[in-house]
Amino acid sequence: MTVGRKGLDIFNSVHEAARYTGLERLGISTQCGFSSTLPGANLTTEDVQEQKLELVAEVANTVW
């Protein structure tokens, strides 16, 4: 596995959840951090957004 510490944490969480339901019923997403309609929300830069998407893709490729 080539994912970093965050990726390993997500990987472990997915496999923990899979103990209770099938792995084929699980998925991952970025969920937040890309945009907000709330005043004063801290929007992330394109670089951070790209890093988040790369992490999701790496973990998904490792898990599934």
Q: What pLDDT digit, counting tens, does each position of 10-29 carry?
A: 999 999 999 999 999 999 88
17, 16, 18, 14: which is closest to 29 by C-alpha?
14
Give pTM, 2 decimals. 0.73
pLDDT band at 37 (very low <50, low <70, confident <90, very high): low
**Mean pLDDT on 28-40:** 70
Pick the more confident residue, 21 or 38.
21
| Domain extent listing, the chain | 5-63
Find where tokens 């490792």 sit: 62
Q: What is the DSSP letter of 39?
A: T
